[in-house]
């Protein structure tokens, strides 16, 4: 067991972007999602579009950090994140299922850079 924990610590030291991704996906994104839905439930804000904007913002920052050496791939991924944000938003407005599509969008958008990094 001690050997596995040392291997995990070494993997974190070798791949800091993976460690940042774990922190963002496990702590920050769910907190932002929960807080914005909680605020929207009490009608302080009219529509919960702010959670989409926050998640797209952090996804773009994560793209910049993760792919700082490959400019073309970074630009393509930022475009994918922004396009996905607007597509999900307009589809949800037309379908009248804003909450369902918002939750889907919050779970999909931040994972684009993660999957591309995993399979390249």
- The residue segments making up the domain with residue 19 are 2-119
What does R_g of the chain's alpha carbons equal in angstroms?
A: 16
Distance, first Cα to last Cα, the chain: 31
pLDDT tens, 92-117? 566 555 555 555 555 555 555 444 44
Cβ distance 102 to 48 under 8 Å?
yes
Task: Give 67's contacts (C-beta < 8 A, 6+ positions apart).
Answer: 73, 74, 77, 113, 117
Element (H, E) at 78: helix 71-95
Cβ distance 113 to 65 under 8 Å?
no
Q: When comparing pLDDT for 108 and 60, which is higher?
A: 60
Which pLDDT band, with edges at 50, 70 and 90, does 67 fall under?
low
Domain count, the chain: 1
The average pLDDT across 31-58 equals 58
pLDDT tens, 5-43? 666 667 666 766 666 665 665 556 656 665 666 556 555
Is the pTM for the entire model greater than 0.75?
Answer: no
């Amino acid at each position: 067991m001690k050997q596995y924990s040392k291997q995990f610590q070494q993997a974190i030291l070798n791949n800091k972007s993976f460690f940042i991704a774990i922190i963002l996906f496990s702590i920050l994104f769910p907190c932002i999602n929960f807080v914005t839905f909680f605020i929207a439930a009490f009608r302080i804000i009219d529509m919960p579009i702010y959670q989409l904007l926050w998640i797209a913002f952090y996804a773009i920052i994560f793209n910049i950090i993760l792919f700082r050496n490959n400019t073309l791939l970074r630009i393509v991924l930022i475009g994918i994140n922004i396009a996905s944000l607007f597509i999900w938003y307009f589809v949800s407005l037309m379908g009248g299922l804003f909450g369902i599509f918002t939750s889907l969008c919050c779970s999909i958008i931040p994972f684009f850079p993660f999957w591309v990094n995993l399979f390249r």
